[in-house]
Structure 1
Amino acid sequence: MPRTKALGLAAAATALTLGLAACGGGGGEGGGDQEPLQFGYIFPETGDLSHLGPPQISAAKYAHSEINKAGGVLGKELPGVLTGDEANDAAQAVEAADGLLDKDVDAVLGAAASGMTMAIIDKITKEKVVQCSGSNTAPDLTDYDDGGFYFRTAPSDLLQGPVLADTVAADGHQSVAIVHRADDYGDGLAEATKTGLEDAGIEVKATESYDPNSPNFGSVVDAVKDAKAEAVVMVSFEEGVQIITGLIEAGVKTDTMYATDGLSDETLAGKVDKDKPETLKGFSGTAPAVDNKKFQEDLTAYDDKLEVFQYAPQVYDCAISIALAAEAAESTDPAVFVKELPKVTKDGEECTGFEQCRDLIKDGKDVDYTGASGPIDFDENGDVAAASIGIYEFGDKGKLDWVDYVETKPES
């Protein structure tokens, strides 16, 4: 159904007089007459990024439960989170977005993949609905024309790339071959990593892009072999498993292979060699990640079946920030509360958790929500002002271990 509700002239005049907004499913300013804040998500429930679905879905539902445990938003309990599957397929992501918009969603959490957000961002933001992703990292999203309705709690790849380059440099490699998906995510992160490597004095002998839907990746493996580089960087999703196995067969050692968040998968070693997960020993990489054991324990208590935690803190922070913005605006209309979203994350009294921050807002205080993923401090582009990048490595038994965390900020 259309999102703009048909009103007669008299009704429209009355609505304007009362200061009500019809867009986005929320009411106008003032807490008493508000419709409940409606969240929806678009995450990979299926497809080659499905390993990233469970932590993001659980984080969204955990935030939802914490908000309702504290009494809801503006005194009204949140209805159940509406769901959508992006499946790392643009057509399916668009279908999911249409489904949420038809149900008058106020805020969309997701998509997980930058490319999927590129497929749906116009649909969502042009309806004046807030979108917040905990895992989009493509640099192009920083200055995308979203009308001020798009935010992300994951850092741009312009921050991850230099950390990955420093990780390669710290291992003493003097030359690198880069292979990457030919999409927004792959192009942006490969370029940021290349720049970081060259700034560190490391020669980039080859930069090879590829179609992630290709039936085989022999040409990618051949390009790496021909480059004769000391190390290889892969900006890949699950198709990277085929590239890794091809490189191993070609004699490339796993401790000279590096990757990014698309392959920070606890089950990766079993996918490469289910009989010998130790084959992946030494394989390492970087991903936006935080050292927050308390949050992980709390999320595990909420969902004891959860085994992967990538991007869970960031998604949680999207949801809590949005709920606090609605509290500050005294409105569940996204066209109204979006203006408060950056404000509740900086330049106020520091607080953590929905209830603590909400109570300060009720007391007339400006708040600075510090989230599970760290300080948020949304800037004018909806980007975070600082980020934590984790460095991971696969050990003897194919277990993914986080070995370090690097705090980083955009260049001023």
Structure 2
Amino acid sequence: MSVFTRSRAGKVLGAIAVASASAVILAGCSGGGTPAPTDDAPDPVDRAELTLSIGTVLPQTGSLAYLGPPEEAGVGLAAAEVNEAAKGITVEVEYGDSGDPDNKAYETTVPRLLGMDVQALVGAASSGVTKLFLDQAVSAGVITFSPANTSPDFTAWDDDNLYWRTAPSDLLQGEVLGNLIAEDGHATLGIIYLNDAYGTGLEAALTETFEGTGGEVVASESYNVGDTNFSAQVSSISAQNPDAIAVIGFEETSTIVPTFVNDGFPGGNFYFVDGNISQWGADMPVSIEGSKGTQPGPVLADDFQERLTAQWAEQSGGKELVDFNYAAESYDAVVLMALAALAANSSDAADIAGKLQEVSGGSGEGEKCLSFADCADIILDGGVADYDGYSGGVKFDDAGDPTEATIGIFQYGADNTHTRIN
């Protein structure tokens, strides 16, 4: 097991140990209690009841629609538990569809939510979608907090301190994936990737890491959003006879992979990423038994999964929650903003953003706490809270990126569904 961190000043992961592609488990749980007051405790702050209004820009339709349920369940569960804790802040949520760059649902959703005077947008899942509305949200003075954006481009975005994310940059995922492929004994690699901010960033990080291990990327081919025929890319990559193929994309993976298999490539030598590490089942028309993939996020506690499942059943009218991808990151995004509002004693978006690094532990001055209620008690007693959540320790740097993260490794079985192996 290895802890992966990124320095506050750095924008690359050169200081991260790469000897292993293992993942560290940082699962949060509730516990602890409110410290007893002392004679030295600071005077209480005059507080008004706060309201945090959130709008979600998460995929209900489009190429990442499978991520919508766990992300919306995470938001809904956090809001319910913050409100139940009754610590002086109420969270209101208005749900909206991000869609994808092809169907452009965000073009309707974002103006609608901004018109409702929300203080924060949770989303998008797709880095490419967030890029298309982030400047609009910044101009409106609204926080954009993504549970799933992984493009390295956001680290240096001119965002007035209003962009934050609980998902790590793809500099980390590319490093873990590249080392995994090398450790599995593959010397040559083919890559097919989506030509957008997400795909190009991850392809670059994967290539650098894999070739740094002594391997060779023998072919790397891109495709565009909306493409449905991948024969040219498949032929080009197959002609180089790679040992393994990494597929960086979304739902179109269920077309790409069969094209390779029909061209003679073994179905067990594919490597997937967070955008397509889906529980494919019968939606993948060929066997991918033995193939692997990476997904940011720790092992989720059983009770957390049970609460998410119950929350989604309530939100969706009884539907089953199949995937849990980015549920923890979505939950923690809401909890962190609620804690930041308490710490700022304000519902103003800029004030909330000004306290996010502090409550995540990024300032290094807080007291560790594992639930909203316990962290809120620390803040209300005049202290500084350092929230460690279900997505990990977080610890935001000055750019709004988490400096502690977990990358899980998954492997597909005979039914084309995956289980976590590390």
- TM band (smaller chain): 0.7 to 0.9
What residue number does 1:343 align with? 358
Query: How does the TM-score come out when normalised to structure 2?
Result: 0.84
- The alpha-carbon deviation at position 301 of structure 1 amounts to 3.6
What residue number does 2:48 align with? 32
Q: Partners in 2 of 1:63 and 1:236 — Cα distance?
A: 29
Q: Partners in 2 of 1:30 and 1:57 — Cα distance?
A: 34
Q: Which amino acid aligns with 2:284?
A: V
Q: Partners in 1 of 2:89 and 2:388 — Cα distance?
A: 24
2:381 paired residue among 342, 349, 363? 363
Q: Is the 8 A contact 2:192 2:222 kept in 1?
A: yes
1:285 paired residue among 293, 315, 320? 293
Q: Which amino acid aligns with 2:100?
A: N
Q: Is the 8 A contact 2:91 2:338 kept in 1?
A: no
Q: Which runs of 4+ in 1 moved over 6 A?
A: none
Q: Which amino acid aligns with 1:400?
A: H
Structure 1, residues 11-39: CA drift from partner, whole Å, max 9, x if none? Answer: xxxxxxxxxxxxxxxxxx963275x2101
Q: Is the 8 A contact 1:177 1:207 kept in 2?
A: yes
Q: Partners in 2 of 1:129 and 1:316 — Cα distance?
A: 19
- Uncovered stretches (5+) of structure 1, i.e. residues with no partner: 1-28, 405-412
Structure 1, residues 233-291: CA drift from partner, whole Å, max 9, x if none? Answer: 1101011111101011111112211111111111x131112xx7xx1211211110211
What residue number does 1:407 align with? none
**Is residue 112 of structure 2 the alignment partner of residue 112 of structure 1?**
no
- The alpha-carbon deviation at position 297 of structure 1 amounts to 2.8
Q: Is the 8 A contact 1:255 1:283 kept in 2?
A: yes
Q: Partners in 2 of 1:251 and 1:242 — Cα distance?
A: 15
**Is residue 278 of structure 2 the alignment partner of residue 265 of structure 1?**
yes
Structure 1, residues 57-81: CA drift from partner, whole Å, max 9, x if none? Answer: 0100000000110116xx24333x1
Query: How does the TM-score come out when normalised to structure 1?
Result: 0.86
Matches within 5 A, 1:144-223: 144-223=157-236
**Is residue 341 of structure 2 the alignment partner of residue 326 of structure 1?**
yes
Q: Partners in 2 of 1:149 and 1:134 — Cα distance?
A: 14
Q: Partners in 1 of 2:135 and 2:225 — Cα distance?
A: 24
Matches within 5 A, 1:12-411: 31-32=47-48, 34=50, 36-71=51-86, 75-79=88-92, 81-89=93-101, 91-266=104-279, 268-273=280-285, 279-294=287-302, 295-304=304-313, 305-346=320-361, 347=364, 348-404=366-422
Q: Superposition RMSD on alpha carbons, in Å?
A: 1.5
- Counterparts in 2 of 1:60 and 1:399: CA distance versus 1, 3 Å: same
- Does the residue aligned with 1:191 lie in a helix, a strand or coil? helix
Q: Partners in 2 of 1:334 and 1:321 — Cα distance?
A: 13
Structure 1, residues 79-135: CA drift from partner, whole Å, max 9, x if none? Answer: 3x1121111136321321111100000111110100010011111122221111110
- Does the residue aligned with 1:385 lie in a helix, a strand or coil? strand
Q: Which amino acid aligns with 1:389?
A: I
Q: In terms of mean alpha carbon deviation, does 123-132 or 104-113 score higher?
A: 123-132
- Counterparts in 2 of 1:220 and 1:269: CA distance versus 1, 3 Å: farther
- The alpha-carbon deviation at position 327 of structure 1 amounts to 0.2
Q: Partners in 2 of 1:204 and 1:180 — Cα distance?
A: 13
Identity %: 36
- Uncovered stretches (5+) of structure 2, i.e. residues with no partner: 1-44, 314-319
Q: Partners in 2 of 1:175 and 1:353 — Cα distance?
A: 45
Q: Partners in 1 of 2:339 and 2:266 — Cα distance?
A: 49
Q: Is the 8 A contact 1:126 1:147 kept in 2?
A: no
Q: Partners in 1 of 2:282 and 2:49 — Cα distance?
A: 53
Q: Partners in 2 of 1:325 and 1:33 — Cα distance?
A: 14
- Counterparts in 2 of 1:252 and 1:101: CA distance versus 1, 3 Å: same
Q: Is the 8 A contact 1:113 1:135 kept in 2?
A: yes
Q: Which amino acid aligns with 1:58?
A: A
Q: Partners in 2 of 1:163 and 1:64 — Cα distance?
A: 33
Structure 1, residues 315-348: CA drift from partner, whole Å, max 9, x if none? Answer: 1110000000000000011122211111011121
Bigger proportion of residues as helix: 1
Q: Partners in 2 of 1:160 and 1:215 — Cα distance?
A: 26
- Does the residue aligned with 2:368 lie in a helix, a strand or coil? strand
- Does the residue aligned with 1:172 lie in a helix, a strand or coil? coil
Q: Which amino acid aligns with 1:302?
A: Q
Q: Which amino acid aligns with 2:237?
A: V
Q: Is the 8 A contact 1:206 1:223 kept in 2?
A: yes
- Does the residue aligned with 1:62 lie in a helix, a strand or coil? helix
- Counterparts in 2 of 1:82 and 1:215: CA distance versus 1, 3 Å: same
Q: Partners in 2 of 1:94 and 1:330 — Cα distance?
A: 33
- The alpha-carbon deviation at position 165 of structure 1 amounts to 0.6
Structure with bigger RCO (C-alpha 8 Å, 6+ apart): 2
